Amino acid sequence: MTNRRDFLKLSALAAAATTGMPGFLARAAAQAGGSRTLVVIQLTGGNDGLNTLVPYSNGAYYAARPTIAIPKKDVLTLTPDLGMHPALRPLMGLWDGGRMAWMENVGYPNPNRSHFASMAIWHTADPSQAQSDGWIGRLAESIGDPFCASNIGAATPQALRASEFSLPSIDTVEQFQLKLPQGLGGAFGDMLDAARSGEAAFLTQATRQMMKNTARVQGGAQRYRAGATYPDGRFAAQLRDTARLIAAGVGQRVLYVSLGGFDTHAGQRADQDELLGTLASGLAAFHADLERQGLAENVVVMGFSEFGRRVAENGSAGTDHGKGSVMFALGSGVRGGVHGSSPDLEDLSDGDIKYRQDFRGVYAEALSGWLGLNAREILNGDFSGPGWLA
């Protein structure tokens, strides 16, 4: 803890010495030391893994879900036993091209069924719930650059909290600039130009630096032309902003996007079908866009949810909070296929599947295999993954 804090302080000082001030993206570009980006997709609310990656040859699945199971005829066949929810059809091209990976049966020891607690565990990568900083926050500290990862959205999730601060959120790229109200440009310049000292001089300098950095982002972003048609909605818009930031070349290593509403206690089919459609159409457009920009080689998408859901449906044609679930990954850096073995639906723990793959092993591969970082240091331990990277 103390070491990380000190390290961070030092790196912040070093950065301030070179740029004059803790500027955001200019430093990120200088520090990143790699052109690869990890895009993390959070499915908030607890996505039902069994209706996402469907065990369509398993009688126990259909027995447990008389009204909400995905009928075999609707499943998008991936293997003799597993297939995708039909709403994920936009991703079939990626699957067929060997650019989509499913990680089966992912969880952690002593599963917690509270949204709040379980999400915190995924964010901090600490099932004991002792850590308060997030794994991406620690990643940023490990790179030594507090601004090498950003959340796309309003509020920064705990995953992006470092021990001393939260990494920034960019609500929209469009908003990430100072647009002076009409007629105030001159006055603003005059105001900044006045002679100052001490903290006032610091703030003047910080303001100039911010304008320079945001202008740089906007300059890159304005050259961006979407290479694909994105669907409507906030999630797709955030993915488009993600592509725009990557295309702008401002050097962020991790970008974080969330899609909420997966807490399907009642009427699951209607809600989850729509959400998975939103997820798939957004990601398909995102990937097509990156291909068109010539950036697809540099980007991997990794998706998770805080938990899956109970194997048996409840009395409201929905499902209640469960334990393990599936993760997914997309991109040309991914080893396509289903990784890990499927859960035994006849050997349950309190109505839930028994996880076999610790999610930290999946994180570890993203960290060391994709980003070239020290996963052990960031995750506080060694975790083996399913080998989902090419």
- Contacts to other proteins from residues 79-118, by CB under 8 A: 114-116
Q: Nearer Cβ to other proteins, position 166 or 298?
A: 166
- Considering only residues 118 through 157, tell me which ones interact with other proteins, judged by CB under 8 A: 120, 132-133, 146-147, 153-156
Q: How far apart are CA 155 and CA 287, in angstroms?
A: 25
Q: In the complex, what is the shortest distance from the CB of residue 206 to other proteins, in angstroms, rounded to a whole number? A: 5
Q: How far apart are CA 235 and CA 227, in angstroms?
A: 17
Is 101 within 8 Å of 75 (Cβ atoms)?
no
Q: How far apart are CA 187 and CA 381, in angstroms?
A: 55
DSSP string, 194-226: S---HHHHHHHHHHHHHHHHHHHHHHHHHH---
Which of 63, 93, 270, 349 contacts other proteins by CB under 8 A? 270
- Considering only residues 347 through 386, tell me which ones interact with other proteins, judged by CB under 8 A: none
- Tokens 């009928």 label which residue? 71
Residue 216's φ and ψ, nearest 5 degrees, are -65, -45
- Tokens 């603003």 label which residue? 188
Which of 14, 202, 341, 350 contacts other proteins by CB under 8 A? 202
Q: Does 199 bind other proteins (CB under 8 A)?
A: yes
Q: Does 322 bind other proteins (CB under 8 A)?
A: no
Q: How far apart are CA 344 and CA 266, in angstroms?
A: 25
Q: Does 7 bind other proteins (CB under 8 A)?
A: no
Q: Does 206 bind other proteins (CB under 8 A)?
A: yes
Q: Does 2 bind other proteins (CB under 8 A)?
A: no
Which of 19, 36, 113, 207 contacts other proteins by CB under 8 A? 207
- Considering only residues 209 through 228, tell me which ones interact with other proteins, judged by CB under 8 A: 209-210, 213-214
Q: In the complex, what is the shortest distance from the CB of residue 195 to other proteins, in angstroms, rounded to a whole number? A: 7
Tokens standing for 199? 């903290």
Q: Tell me the window of 167-175, 295-303, 367-375, 377-385 that interacts with other proteins (CB under 8 A).
A: 167-175
DSSP reduced 3-state for 259: strand
The DSSP call for residue 343 is P
Tokens standing for 321? 């909070």
Region for 261 from its dihedrals, namely left if φ exceeds 0, alpha if ψ lies in -120 to 50, beta otherwise: left
- Considering only residues 57 through 76, tell me which ones interact with other proteins, judged by CB under 8 A: 66-68
Q: Tell me the window of 33-41, 204-212, 222-230, 324-332 that interacts with other proteins (CB under 8 A).
A: 204-212
Q: In the complex, what is the shortest distance from the CB of residue 103 to other proteins, in angstroms, rounded to a whole number? A: 23
- Considering only residues 32 through 61, tell me which ones interact with other proteins, judged by CB under 8 A: 45
Q: Nearer Cβ to other proteins, position 177 or 298?
A: 177
Is 165 within 8 Å of 189 (Cβ atoms)?
no
Q: In the complex, what is the shortest distance from the CB of residue 180 to other proteins, in angstroms, rounded to a whole number? A: 9
